[in-house]
């Protein structure tokens, strides 16, 4: 019989839906890295869009929480109907997908399937629906919520979330800077804020990069600056639209023939992005490829990984590029300096259109800077499998009523 002290902890991890993107990669790596001798893990999605790939067999994927898309009772509920109509307005009139998701997620939780089991800990691995559902309807001794973004910079409404944060025992941030900014604005939660980076290993990334031989739909610029981006096509956060005006300026200087840009990803702004490319006559320079199940085989073909985001948390795609030897060229989002040593293993540009133009122009004219960055990348390790131990310490601190913030030094960093 198993001794009570060694009994597995029952964990529930809650997520929106299986999709292609950094948060999904982070989820898969997180649950796969948990010690199956210590944790019995259930994984609950709001909905499933095809099979869940890459999850180790010890993790139990539960039936999705979204049971009936056509449930008429929802539309007889004034609160649900108000949320539904409000979300449609935010998308169509305000082009604000994030607030629409935040609003509608709060209203739709009550019509999701409930779980009978009680857990030792429940983890909302995303804001939005996973957060609201976990805090309202999951039975668990302790509850934690993950922050993959810079909460206020990205545009969440704190007044909508406050009562749910009040119910959380721990707020886990994948970026130290995002944790610091949130705790500074909301001192009441400071002791509940923890840091834990997304888990990535060189072996996982390199295996995915070898999965197939990619075929480009265009010829690379040789010599030149060949850029690749893997991101959701959503201008408010990812900032892809402003690169197009940079390229127009480079064309005016006679430098455009030295540039190619492959953009991998989908999103609400993809049709607008394609139209903007056509309007500017950039079809032979910019190639929006749409979504790919596994884009990593393409990355080693390029000279640099471009992420011109207006705001970010700690994007997994940047670290994947570094592991594959591709220097990242990023704007200064909250955690940029945590991921990239500017001028050494990549380049951080100030988060302004003019700085983006100057930075890309400089790399077109001085490709030797990328050569030096690639050499630095070869000398460094970006794997962090060992950081899964942070979760053990976070959970122990939460169970024992300990503090996050800067009250403890776990693993050599300020805070958990």
- Is 77 contained in some domain? no
Q: What is the pLDDT of residue 27?
A: 95
- Is 205 contained in some domain? no
- Is 344 contained in some domain? yes
Q: What is the pLDDT of residue 408?
A: 41
Do 230 and 303 sit in the same domain of this protein? yes
- Is 20 contained in some domain? yes
Least confident piece of the model among 79-93, 155-169, 320-334, 367-381: 79-93
Q: What is the pLDDT of residue 272?
A: 97
Do 194 and 254 sit in the same domain of this protein? no
pLDDT grade for 407, boundaries at 50, 70 and 90:
very low
When pLDDT is averaged across residues 105-113 and rounded to a whole number, the result is 83
Do 230 and 184 sit in the same domain of this protein? no
Per-residue pLDDT for 411 more than 50?
no
Do 314 and 167 sit in the same domain of this protein? no
Range of the domain at 324: 211-379
Least confident piece of the model among 111-115, 152-156, 174-178, 189-193: 152-156
Q: How many domains does the chain have?
A: 2
Q: What is the pLDDT of residues 296-350, one digit of tens each?
A: 999 999 999 999 999 998 999 999 999 999 999 999 999 999 999 999 999 999 9
Per-residue pLDDT for 227 more than 90?
yes
- Is 402 contained in some domain? yes
Do 174 and 222 sit in the same domain of this protein? no
Q: What is the pLDDT of residue 74?
A: 61
pLDDT grade for 358, boundaries at 50, 70 and 90:
very high
Q: What is the pLDDT of residue 412?
A: 40
Do 132 and 262 sit in the same domain of this protein? no
pLDDT grade for 110, boundaries at 50, 70 and 90:
confident
If one compares 343 and 415, the residue with the highest pLDDT of the two is 343
- Is 315 contained in some domain? yes
Do 24 and 116 sit in the same domain of this protein? yes
CA distances for 180 relative to 103, 185, 189, 261, 279, angstroms: 26, 9, 11, 34, 42
If one compares 2 and 73, the residue with the highest pLDDT of the two is 73
Q: What is the pLDDT of residues 251-271, one digit of tens each?
A: 999 999 999 999 999 998 999
- Residue 162's domain is classified under what CATH number? 3.40.50.2000
Do 149 and 11 sit in the same domain of this protein? yes
Do 184 and 244 sit in the same domain of this protein? no
Do 309 and 191 sit in the same domain of this protein? no
- The mean of the pLDDT values for the chain is 90
Q: What is the pLDDT of residue 409?
A: 35
Do 217 and 304 sit in the same domain of this protein? yes
- Is 137 contained in some domain? yes
When pLDDT is averaged across residues 350-367 and rounded to a whole number, the result is 98
pLDDT grade for 50, boundaries at 50, 70 and 90:
confident
- Is 291 contained in some domain? yes
Q: What is the pLDDT of residue 406?
A: 46
Do 195 and 222 sit in the same domain of this protein? no
pTM: 0.88
Per-residue pLDDT for 155 more than 90?
no
When pLDDT is averaged across residues 177-193 and rounded to a whole number, the result is 97
Q: What is the pLDDT of residue 402?
A: 67
């Amino acid at each position: 019989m198993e001794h009570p002290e060694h009994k597995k902890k029952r964990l529930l991890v809650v997520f929106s839906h299986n999709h292609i993107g950094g948060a999904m990669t982070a989820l898969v790596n997180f649950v796969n890295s948990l010690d199956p001798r210590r944790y019995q893990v259930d994984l609950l999605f709001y909905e499933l869009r095809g099979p869940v790939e890459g999850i180790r067999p010890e993790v139990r994927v539960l039936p999705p929480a979204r049971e009936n898309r056509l449930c008429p009772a929802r539309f007889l509920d004034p609160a649900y109907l108000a949320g539904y109509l409000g979300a449609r307005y935010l998308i169509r009139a305000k082009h604000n997908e994030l607030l629409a998701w935040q609003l509608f997620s709060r209203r739709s939780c009550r019509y999701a399937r409930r779980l009978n089991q009680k857990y030792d800990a429940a983890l909302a691995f995303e804001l939005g629906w996973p957060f609201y559902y976990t805090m309202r309807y999951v039975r668990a001794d302790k509850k934690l919520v993950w922050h993959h973004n810079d909460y206020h910079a990205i545009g969440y409404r704190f007044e909508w979330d406050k009562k749910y944060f009040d119910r959380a025992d721990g707020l886990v941030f994948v970026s130290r800077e995002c944790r610091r900014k949130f705790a500074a604005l909301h001192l009441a939660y400071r002791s509940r804020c923890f840091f834990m980076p997304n888990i990535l290993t060189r072996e996982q990334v390199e295996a995915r990069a070898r999965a197939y031989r990619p075929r480009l739909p265009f010829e690379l610029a040789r010599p030149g600056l060949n850029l690749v981006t893997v991101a959701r096509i959503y201008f408010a956060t990812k900032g892809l639209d402003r690169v197009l005006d940079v390229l127009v300026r480079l064309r005016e200087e006679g430098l455009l023939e030295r540039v190619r840009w492959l953009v991998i990803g989908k999103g609400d702004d993809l049709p607008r992005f394609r139209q903007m490319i056509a309007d500017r006559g950039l079809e032979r320079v910019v190639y929006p490829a749409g979504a790919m199940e596994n884009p990593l085989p393409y990355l080693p073909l390029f000279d640099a990984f471009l992420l011109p985001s207006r705001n970010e948390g700690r994007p997994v795609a940047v670290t994947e590029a570094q592991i594959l030897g591709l220097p990242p060229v990023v704007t200064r989002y909250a955690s940029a300096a945590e991921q990239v040593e500017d001028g050494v293993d990549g380049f951080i540009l100030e988060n302004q259109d003019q700085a983006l133009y100057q930075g890309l122009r400089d790399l077109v004219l001085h490709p030797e800077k990328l050569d030096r960055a690639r050499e630095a990348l070869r000398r460094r390790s970006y794997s962090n499998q060992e950081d899964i131990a942070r979760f053990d310490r976070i959970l122990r601190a939460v169970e024992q009523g300990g503090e996050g913030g800067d009250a403890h030094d776990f693993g050599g960093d300020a805070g958990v």
